[in-house]
């Protein structure tokens, strides 16, 4: 059940409400008020009460319900995809692909979760020792707008199978998508209170995290948001998982097929209009193929044309909001003002909608924002390097450490370089991606913890040890 909303919340007066604002038309379609501060404790208490019942159900039953949610998500693919496109501007084909990926994650945990959670025996010299995986309780999930289905289910899937309860604070851009996800879980058989959408105002997040019945918080979002949540979680001694930004390197060591490598770089940079934390943002290319690589990339970027994201023929969607477009353009302009070369793009089309031209920057130097900041949109920075050592040094010269890609016809060489990259994930001869069975997460200021795969089952699990010793025989009674 969606928590009751109250538009008279004085705590959030003046704050931007949850709203569907179409980034292509700029029209506000629907607004939703924040959850009133005074209602928060009641929502948490209902979630905890639901958790106490949910955790007692057999894991196979919980998994079956999550599997049914996957089926419903596929049955409602058109509805979900249309919502995602309207709320954050994703091209309709990519939105449909996200629905299918999200459903595959739920299906993965439905089929594999019970096996992942089986108790593990530990060999001991005497007696028995077993580690069991138990749920911990209510988890607050703070999720972003750029993948509004995928990001949610990679938390909800494993935790619902494990037996935890979820409070979802979705991004303010995605209220109708958030409600549709909640309805999908309810219709699949998840009891009311076990999965609850809350239109929570940011200032009220601490009240939820601090609540004694909330056992953890997970956030996917910006570095600034992650720092704030980590501070609150530490203050209140709550477990946290953070998946933050990235400035992923795409390292070309050599290539026997330049066209294929350029195509991979284009795909890695332009997915979701460049609004992906694992997008290839820094393209690092050896000097002997640098010029033809940049020219090939320029030609590839020229094929993207802006248009209505709900039209299947559109190749470039708007960014998620007008503010996002302004922010990216300001980063590009800062680089240009300080001497960067614009190979193509650099501006904003003379069109309605939150568009930024597909942009390639070269000659970017450390004093430019584009050198150290994440560019969240259709803008790539290409660097020329003299050798492998310089490529590795440049790849690691960032505060981020989420993903990386290494391209080479020599797999041993590629593996050797991958071993030296400071990242949570390195992909060889393909752009950085995601799949249910692959662990997802980063190092450094890209966050900590892992989602997806078997590892994603255990971030909010009590891995409880039970140690059993044989009962001692009673002493024999003494005569007399």
Does residue 243 have an active-site annotation? yes
The active-site residue out of 96, 172, 184, 277 is 277
**CA-based Rg of the chain, rounded to a whole angstrom?**
24
**Closest by CA position to 154, among listed 440, 419, 389:** 440
CA dist 456 and 20 (Å) reads 31
SS3 readout for the chain: CCCCCCCCCHHHCCCCCEEEECCCCCCEEEEECCCCHHHHHHHHHHHHHHHHHHCCCCHHHHHHHHHHHHHHHHHCHHHHHHHHHHHHCCCHHHHHHHHHHHHHHHHHHHHHHHHHCCCEECCCCCCEEEEEEEECCEEEEECCCCCCCHHHHHHHHHHHHHCCEEEEECCCCCHHHHHHHHHHHHHHCCCCCCEEECCCCHHHHHHHHHCCCEEEEEEECCHHHHHHHHHHHHHCCCEEEEECCCCEEEEECCCCCHHHHHHHHHHHHHHHHHCCCCCEEEEEEECCCHHHHHHHHHHHHCCCCECCCCCCCCCECCCCCHHHHHHHHHHHHHHHHCCCEEEECCCCCCCCCCCCCCEEEECCCCCCHHHHCCCCCCEEEEEEECCHHHHHHHHHCCCCCCEEEEECCCHHHHHHHHCCCCCCEEEECCCCCCCCCCCECCCHHHEECCECCHHHHCCCEEEEEEEECCCCCCCCCCCC
Whether 319 and 377 have beta carbons less than 8 Å apart is answered as yes
Among candidate residues 96, 143, 223, 243, the one labeled active-site is 243
Tell me whether residue 373 is one of the annotated catalytic residues: no
Residues noted as catalytic: 243, 277
């Amino acid at each position: 059940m969606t928590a009751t909303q109250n538009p008279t919340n004085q705590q959030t007066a003046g704050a931007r409400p949850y709203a569907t604002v179409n980034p292509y038309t700029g029209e506000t379609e629907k607004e939703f008020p924040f959850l009133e501060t005074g209602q928060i404790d009641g929502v948490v208490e209902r979630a905890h009460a639901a958790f106490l019942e949910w955790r007692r159900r057999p894991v196979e039953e919980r998994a079956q319900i999550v599997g049914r949610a996957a089926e419903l998500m596929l049955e409602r693919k058109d509805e979900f995809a249309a919502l995602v496109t309207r709320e954050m501007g994703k091209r309709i084909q990519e939105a449909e692909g996200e629905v299918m990926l999200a459903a595959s994650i739920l299906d993965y945990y439905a089929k594999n979760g019970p096996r992942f959670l089986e108790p593990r025996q530990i060999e001991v010299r005497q007696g028995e020792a077993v580690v069991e995986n138990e749920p911990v309780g209510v988890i607050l999930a703070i999720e972003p707008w750029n993948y509004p289905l995928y990001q949610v289910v990679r938390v909800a899937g494993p935790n619902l199978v494990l037996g935890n309860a979820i409070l979802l604070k979705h991004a303010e851009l995605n209220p109708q998508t958030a409600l549709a996800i909640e309805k999908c879980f309810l219709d699949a058989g998840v009891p009311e209170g076990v999965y609850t959408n809350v239109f929570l105002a940011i200032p009220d997040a601490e009240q939820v995290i601090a609540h004694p019945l909330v056992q953890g918080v997970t956030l996917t979002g910006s570095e600034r948001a992650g720092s704030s949540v980590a501070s609150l979680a530490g203050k209140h001694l709550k477990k946290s998982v953070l998946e933050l930004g990235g400035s992923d390197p795409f390292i070309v060591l050599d290539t026997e097929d330049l066209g294929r490598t350029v195509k991979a770089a284009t795909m890695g940079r332009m997915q979701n209009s460049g609004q992906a934390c694992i997008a290839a943002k820094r393209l690092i290319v050896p000097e002997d193929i640098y010029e033809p690589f940049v020219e090939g990339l320029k030609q590839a970027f020229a094929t993207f044309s802006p248009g209505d994201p709900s039209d299947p023929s559109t190749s470039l969607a708007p960014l998620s909001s007008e503010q996002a477009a302004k922010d990216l353009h300001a980063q590009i302009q800062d680089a240009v003002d300080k001497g960067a070369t614009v190979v193509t793009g650099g501006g904003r089309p003379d069109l309605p909608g939150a568009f930024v031209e597909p942009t390639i920057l070269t000659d970017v130097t450390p004093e430019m924002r584009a050198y150290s900041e994440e560019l969240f949109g259709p803008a790539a920075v290409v660097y020329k390097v003299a050798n492998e050592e310089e490529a590795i040094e440049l790849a690691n010269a960032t505060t981020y450490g989420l993903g990386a890609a290494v391209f080479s016809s020599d797999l041993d060489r590629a593996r050797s370089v991958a071993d030296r990259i400071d990242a949570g994930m390195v992909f060889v001869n393909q752009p950085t991606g995601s799949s249910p069975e692959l662990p997802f997460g980063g190092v450094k200021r890209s966050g900590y913890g892992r989602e997806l795969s078997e590892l994603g089952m255990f971030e909010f699990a009590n891995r409880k040890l039970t140690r059993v010793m044989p009962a001692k025989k009673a002493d024999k009674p003494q005569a007399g």
